[in-house]
A and B are shown apart, each in its own frame.
Chain A
Amino acid sequence: MTTREKGTVMDAIQIKRALMRISHEILERNGGAEKLVIIGIRARGDSLAGRIKNYIKNIESIDIPLGVLDITLYRDDFTSINSKPIVGKTEIPFDVTGRIVILIDDVLYTGRTIRSALDAIIDFGRPKEIQLAVLLDRGHRELPIRPDYVGKNVPTSENEHIEVKVEEVDGEDRVILREVKDDD
């Protein structure tokens, strides 16, 4: 499967503004940073989560506990893959019971990743609430999952693909819209 770049959906500045807005929204909705914990989903949601944690610190001078979740072992789509994705480390060095978990991922699509993440978090304890923040929502939900905070809504078709690049992993901040090419 090859893809062809169609265009940039968000550049670095737009990403920064969206994340800052989301950080304010989180604080507004929850009346401050008490009881909050942030969990980012590998492999890019965790980078974004780190940034949101820092923005919140700059705004209200509070250090919200940050965790990283790897959902590889909770996926439901293994049946026909021959190559196994690498299992990353999950690090949740705090108790989630009674807390408000802000779950953060880069792209929301079918909703299956978030379902896996919810299963995982609930294995760690009983949160008071789980709220979902995503940088992009590209539609085409297959499960009843909805985000609480969205950076940008980007309606896409099924032969399109959203690629998120983040500074921490890819060396730049950019969201790219790609089209799947049918090879002749």
Chain B
Amino acid sequence: MKIQNRKYIIKGGRVIDPLQGIDEKLDILIDGDKIEALGHFEKKEGEFVDVRNLVVCPGFIDMHTHLREPGREDEETIETGTKAAAKGGFTAVASMANTEPIIDNSGMIRFIKEKAERDGAVEVYPIGAVTKGQKGEELSEMFDMAKAGCCAFSDDGNPICSSYMMRKALEYSKIVDKTIIAHEEDLFLSKDGEMNEDFNSTKLGLKGIPTISESIMVARDIAILGFIGGNLHIAHLSTKQSLDMVRKAKKNRLSITAEVTPHHLSLVSSCLATYDTNLKMKPPLRTKEDVKALKMGLRDGTIDCIATDHAPHALFEKEMEFGSAPFGIIGLETALGIVCTELIQTGILSLKELIEKMSVNPARILGIEERTLKKGKDANITIFDPNKEWKVDVNNFVSKSTNSPYDGWKLKGYPVMTIVKGKIVYREGEFQQ
């Protein structure tokens, strides 16, 4: 991404900036890649961009994206994945390490950064593996990777099975003070499981993954965290039990954070009656009670952020009988629509709170520059219409993959413009080169 040197006046939008406590109609002056000023500007040098009736806020960050490059460029690349992010209103993504080969050394971190610099539509913060090859046996070179620019560590895709390794990982990560993002799954309990273990799995004859598969590991890791310290972030939290444990751990002031995906807020295990493989993911879709609890967990702050777990899969792999299809669905282009429909329209979160969950908090957890619209800060801005209704059509997706369960859904909440380091990367259907 070349540094751009134009001036813009983003005019007439409702600027909501949680860190500065701003929620009013304001114009934003952008100079080059930085924010110059906020105010009311009539005569100014630069291009006027009319954003009346739209919300203007610090740019969203998706802290859980699978870009599939290197290794599965047929499913997604850094270029197409970041474009999908921009279309979804995200100005940055944190890319997961389970590529082929795994991102477990500084060379790979640099590869991601350089590729993203050249091809990426938005900023990419690489996540490094916790263990070498994500095998769960030896710690990776966390210090070296952090120096090369990685923002956090995760073996996501896999849990860290050995409690000993999790302890060592949390312990060692204290050198660089970064968070361990944990994919919580007890592989013994979840073995061969394909959906949540409940009445629906019994009806459908599919082997179930019980909620305890997740909550046991959450309990374990909270205990280790409490014992040894470090920073723990629970990826794709999906059950009420896990949520209650995180809430308690936060009360006890442990350094723990948690994310939830849009699909765990909008879909349940009964949806699987059609055996649609676009509903197959890990952790699986849970029950109404879990969805309700997760929404309350967002409201009361137990859950810090919303992250998509965007997991592209090739059509030929998903278009199979249910048992043969891989786990995972995409989510970058529907995330905002889903969360506005499920959380804003229903009054569960205010716009300010939503923006915290999607921008301010992910930045804080990843230890990157705080998201706020202040003079001198990078101009990373998301502009969206929280009320616009639109229909999801996977044929219009820019992601290389189409494994989304939302095709045909009517959603409210539409990303209109995405500005990354002062450059209007995405604007109402068009990408800028």
Report A-B touching, CB under 8 Å. no
